[in-house]
Amino acid sequence: MRQSLYWVMALSAGLVVANNYYNQPLLIDFAHTFGTSERQAGAVAIAAQAGYALGLVLFVPLGDKVERRKLFTITLSAAVVALLAMAAAPTLSWLIAASFVASMTSVAAQLLTPYAAQLAGADGRGKAVGIVMLGLLGGILASRTVSGTMAAHLGWRVVYVSAAATTALVAVMLARILPRVAPTFPGSYRALMGSLTQLLREEPVVRQTSFVAALQFAAFSAFWTTLAFHLHSLDTRYGSETAGLFGLVGIAGASGSYAIGKLTDAHEPRRIILAATLVFIASYGVLAWTGESIGGLIVGVVLLDLGLQSAHVSNMARNLGVRNHAMSRSNTIYMTIRFAGGAIGSVLGNYAWSAWHWPGVCSVGAACAFISMVLQIVPDRKAQCVMR
């Protein structure tokens, strides 16, 4: 398979997943527009995480049953409508509801990852996942810079009009260039969904990778959900543009995902995941100690993204290697649990900020990261017998 196709998939994944993260630097702007508190505006980010988790459950398993190009067209068309609804939102409640739907239907990235792994085969799975993940992670991080800068100069509503246009273009591109891959599951949708429970029960690796990823993403989301509030609270009272620029800082850490994917093909992924987790924990030490300065925040963000994304790529490659005929379903379980963790992390971070400000946020993040390390050191006994 031509490597250029994986890079097109990476670009598509990044552009679509960005829909879930444009909101994070804009929470202060939402609060000002609708005359609400920061905590109330934070519900937009929480709704996005929860909607994405539901979309993973409802739509991603269909990657094993429905021809994926058709699935991309349906879900991305719905996302375009929801993004336009966000741009036109007359109230905060409308914005929260539209954010939920836009994120729920922007799950193409999680269909593209198992798609790439299936095309690559066992020998190139880690590399293919690493390429797509590089685009996906770049989209997550760059989205904050794009939305923060655009909102500062053109207003936040323009962000979502642009997102709708971009998503429409991605839908057309994927329909035209992706090869057809025959579905692997012949049963009904009900049987397909029922098999998720069976897969989770029977595969210890799926359980371990999913819950480790959930805890780490909870820590990650606690930081990014509250970063705009923290920057605004500093003496210089930085706005949405500065918060968005931290996305570019995060790209420096996330750029290691391609190299990590290649390492995962050649080495034991569990060691890579554990090493990455230690970097992740160290990042919160830096953020807690020096987070009142821009320089300290920059160092902390680089370490945070390097640790999280390295662990995520190895975790995902390990997960997708469990059952070749059920890659979309394995990815569904993994990503659903992971994004549920992200939604919980957003809630905890939002609450910690309102109660204890920055020290509370750092405590939440460090605790979640530490528990994820414990799950790796004292794993499911059955998982100890499974190498990949």
**Mean of the pLDDT values across residues 130-140?**
82
Q: What is the mean pLDDT of the chain?
A: 85
Is the pLDDT assigned to residue 190 strictly greater than 80? yes
- Quick one: three-class SS letters along the chain? CCHHHHHHHHHHHHHHHHHHCCCHHHHHHHHHHHCCCHHHHCHHHHHHHHHHHHHHHHHHHHHHCCCHHHHHHHHHHHHHHHHHHHHCCCCHHHHHHHHHHHHHCCCHHHHHHHHHHHHHCCCCHHHHHHHHHHHHHHHHHHHHHHHHHHHHHHCHHHHHHHHHHHHHHHHHHHHHHCCCCCCCCCCCHHHHHHHHHHHHHHCHHHHHHHHHHHHHHHHHHHHHHHHHHHHHHCCCCCCHHHHHHHHHHHHHHHCCHHHHHHHHHHCCHHHHHHHHHHHHHHHHHHHHHHCCCHHHHHHHHHHHHHHHHHHHHHHHHHHHCCCHHHHHHHHHHHHHHHHHHHHHHHHHHHHHHHHHHHHHHHHHHHHHHHHHHHHHHCCCHHHHHCCC
Could you tell me the CATH number of the domain that includes residue 134? 1.20.1250.20
Tell me the mean pLDDT in the region 356-385.
82
More confident residue, 332 or 184: 332
Lowest mean pLDDT, pick from 51-60, 153-162, 357-366: 51-60
Tell me: pLDDT of 384 over 60.
Answer: no
- What pLDDT, on a 0 to 100 scale, did the predictor assign at position 102? 95
Give yes or no for residue 343 having a pLDDT over 80.
yes
Label residue 263 by pLDDT band (50, 70, 90). low
What integer pLDDT is reported at residue 386 of this predicted model? 45
pLDDT recorded at residue 237: 65
What is the arithmetic mean of pLDDT over 221-236?
83
Mean pLDDT of 310-339: 83
pLDDT grade for 264, boundaries at 50, 70 and 90: low
Structural domains in the chain (count) = 1
Dump pLDDT digits (tens) for 1-56: 567 888 999 999 999 999 998 998 888 889 899 998 878 888 998 899 889 888 98
Q: Provide the pLDDT confidence category of residue 387 given band limits of 50, 70 and 90.
A: very low
Model pLDDT, residue 267? 67
Confidence class of residue 185 from pLDDT cuts 50, 70 and 90? confident
Mean pLDDT in residue range 210-234: 89
Segment 63-71 shows an average pLDDT of 87
335 has pLDDT over 80: yes
The pLDDT score that the predictor gives to residue 259 is 67
Full domain range(s) for residue 209: 3-385
pTM over 0.95: no
Considering the chain, what percentage of its residues have pLDDT values greater than 90?
Answer: 34
